[in-house]
Structure 1
């Protein structure tokens, strides 16, 4: 890993000797693969912003206890899970499970407050929890979008492209999971190619498949080939998204995947997926009580399966338009929900997942910029530990956008600077510059400026700060058009990280054998 300031300083002589070409060359390096320029994860040096005080948390926690004991949750199509809850002392009535007060809070105490997710390149390992934030790309869209081909179903080529773009970005720490849905592959077999793409085309951490228990088993088996069986048993090498089927339901598919990963000591993000007003009450407090009930139940279940297994308390919560029923993003209510859930997670001593670069816009336009900037800033300020959907989200999560991926990644770079807080070192206080310049002067030629100009301010890779005349001469490009050129250049310059040939062949052999063992299916 190369320190950011060292890299920037080393390019200063190129700028001074190369003039305009030096600036251009450095910009190209930033845009086309400078993933070595940044730490493998972000450590926040700014305090968290809390909208919910301790007294408010206690009221929400008390209501959560009532929800858990009086209403309970349903765990559908999984008798084994019902037996687990029964043995743990919960009240089981059919598929409905009710919990004594404090039971789930006690169970999650065995979960680690922080843990390491290992990457195949150890320099890319991430620490999840504490003051750390991990940015991971968009997850789950069936469609992709770019300025050249428009909106269309995703393919495995698109999937691999987004993995590569996440790999070369200096601002994304994680390869993610279903960066788009490759609908050109059979539903029951595409998980092989998806997991392999993360292993092959990136050396950052990645996510496993959760769409069926057997697909989770395949993901674990592939991880054991990549890392070794012994290493996987003792270390987290995958993290995966387990959604509650809100309100107050876990279905058999998610429960099956959760059991596979928890038994294998791999991290689960237990995350209710809620559109407030439709899948939860219309109020922030009522929704937070439901989020806490659902998240606690799933997190506690992982600890009953394997005490000490890593788990992340998650919350994906947005509101809906009460006029149309359509999801809305970038709303003040969404920020309050995210922020409140973050504090509730901290009170449990669990890492927290939420946030992203959300928008309901259909294009990478002003609406998408406003909504995404609002939510990603709120994500950082709330102290989110694992941020899914940090780049590429469009159309309420139905689309993975190439151009928005680039624009969002640039915003993530700004979050890295914001997270550092205010530097109060002697160099940052700049007394020598003030003494040198004095009243009425300027700082452009000061020695302090010359020492620090390379790293003084964040330099956007997508914004155009030139004069109108220069912008016009450069083709009058808007932000989306500039992003279009950037992602194409990044894919053109992409170099696959080295993977041991023996491991690569073993992965391919495993996939070929498994695929041949059952017929293609679209379910």
Structure 2
């Protein structure tokens, strides 16, 4: 067996030398891997059906139980008189801030929600479809801390925020610029949303997310979108998507409701997402968690249709478990994957796009734990048929940290997911009968014409992994994956070039931001 491995390695090395040259070829390959000038990939169009864990009987049972929760227990809509009035007018039983829903009311309201929609980017080539068989990867969202390229864990700044936006813009397998890629704490709380939204608009031409931390900040996002895209285009199209979290269990607060109303009225998309740590914010069982998730999404998503029928809305879920010994969140474990699979089925039954998953981990650094947990989460995310994937790259420490090194490592994994989602090549070239004929029994394929014609594109090439011999790895510095990721991030940022933006539009955005900031004193709480 050892002799066979040695022969295989020697033959592979020889083929590489023949096809690409000796040391010069290796240098060229390293340069190609680390260069920021890479061909952008379109959003994924999945070629295979999603994985399903519930049969018809199981789905019907979860739906029946969710209807029971909505009717008997109800959902609280806190500190929002308008929301309560809308529900009462729609026929719900409103008791204080608790809303009880007649069976079928929410599903009836959701008939006006689109099953798919396009989120337009300022570069039309970067627009994405959300729904159907499409999968869109977006970066990490929300951490107050970063782990920077000097290995410091510290509070995030606006410079960190811009750098993450730049990396996401340059990453071929990231289709979306995301939202709060980290929380820039060096800017006042009541003003930082302006700089964050502007950063997405200026340093990337991919689609992006808006602010939801206050209704007026959502209004600012829509106003800035009107400057960027034009009033009429915003009125007629979806240009921003926004995360609306339920305060599980079974509560929507005035902040989330206020932002949801702003975006729905402007015909912009919302992702209604129960934030679940099972065992603390939902039952410990998969079926119980799915029941609560469905009830919360039905109520929140239907509310957007009360505000404006036809407004785009996404069935979201963020499901994790907790350690029953410490209470700490855990990631990459089996049960949240089962929740994702089931929730995806329920979303498709409702005819809504689906959001879940990402590259999640509780690890404190980009180590083996981070890799295993992120891979487990990401694989189940794609298998679940997820349409919008938040936290695809950069998540660390249970969502407290955005990590530059892990961002680059995750990007590499996203590229693999992109490749595995493609249909199998059954063309004449894909069938490779000419290669089989040429080689015949007892030889090898390394030097045949088919291999020579296809070797550059035949297999996915990681820009992080090292597959060379021990001697070559050692000669090149014996670097770990984290070290290679660090180097690539630095090289990408050094070579970054901003996408063009009309000068008048940029000045209009800057003027809007300056006036908004001047209109209010700084607030850090």
Q: Which TM class, normalised by the smaller chain length?
A: over 0.9
Q: CA deviation at 1:469?
A: 1.1
Q: Which residue of 1 aligns with 2:12?
A: none
| CA distance in 2: counterparts of 1:68 and 1:261, whole angstroms | 25
1:514 and 2:516 aligned: yes
SS class of match (1:462): coil
| CA distance in 2: counterparts of 1:426 and 1:204, whole angstroms | 36
Q: Which residue of 1 aligns with 2:120?
A: 118
1:157 and 2:159 aligned: yes
| CA distance in 1: counterparts of 2:358 and 2:193, whole angstroms | 24
1:24 and 2:27 aligned: yes
Q: Among 292, 300, 307, which residue is 1:298 paired with?
A: 300
1:62 and 2:64 aligned: yes
Matches within 5 A, 1:174-189: 174-189=176-191
Q: Which residue of 1 aligns with 2:325?
A: 323
Cα separation, partners in 2 of 1:322 and 1:470, compared to 1, 3 Å: same
CA contact (8 A) 1:35 1:171 kept: no
Q: Deviations over 1:306-342 (max 9, x none)?
A: 1111110100010000000000000000110111101
Q: Which residue of 1 aligns with 2:428?
A: 426
1:245 and 2:247 aligned: yes
Matches within 5 A, 1:131-210: 131-210=133-212
| CA distance in 1: counterparts of 2:38 and 2:153, whole angstroms | 28
SS class of match (1:36): coil
Q: Deviations over 1:28-49 (max 9, x none)?
A: 334332453422x110002211
Q: CA deviation at 1:439?
A: 0.5
| CA distance in 1: counterparts of 2:21 and 2:440, whole angstroms | 31
TM-score, scaled relative to structure 2: 0.95
Structure 2 residues not aligned, in runs of 5+ = 1-16
Q: Which residue of 1 aligns with 2:440?
A: 438
CA contact (8 A) 1:133 1:383 kept: yes
| CA distance in 2: counterparts of 1:419 and 1:288, whole angstroms | 26
| CA distance in 2: counterparts of 1:334 and 1:388, whole angstroms | 15
Q: CA deviation at 1:209?
A: 0.2
Q: Which residue of 1 aligns with 2:367?
A: 365
Q: Which residue of 2 aligns with 1:225?
A: 227
SS class of match (2:347): helix
TM-score, scaled relative to structure 1: 0.96
Q: CA deviation at 1:17?
A: 7.0
Q: Deviations over 1:91-113 (max 9, x none)?
A: 10000000000110111111111
Q: CA deviation at 1:297?
A: 0.8
CA contact (8 A) 1:393 1:401 kept: yes
Q: Which moved more, 1:118-127 or 1:15-24?
A: 15-24
SS class of match (2:200): helix
Q: Among 39, 57, 66, which residue is 1:36 paired with?
A: 39
1:400 and 2:402 aligned: yes
Q: CA deviation at 1:429?
A: 1.1
SS class of match (2:205): coil
Q: CA deviation at 1:55?
A: 1.2
User: Number of matched residues?
Assistant: 510
Cα separation, partners in 2 of 1:24 and 1:306, compared to 1, 3 Å: farther
1:414 and 2:420 aligned: no
Q: Which residue of 1 aligns with 2:376?
A: 374
Q: Deviations over 1:42-67 (max 9, x none)?
A: 10002211111121110000000000
CA contact (8 A) 1:358 1:396 kept: yes
Q: CA deviation at 1:477?
A: 1.1
Structure 1 residues not aligned, in runs of 5+ = 1-13
Matches within 5 A, 1:270-309: 270-309=272-311
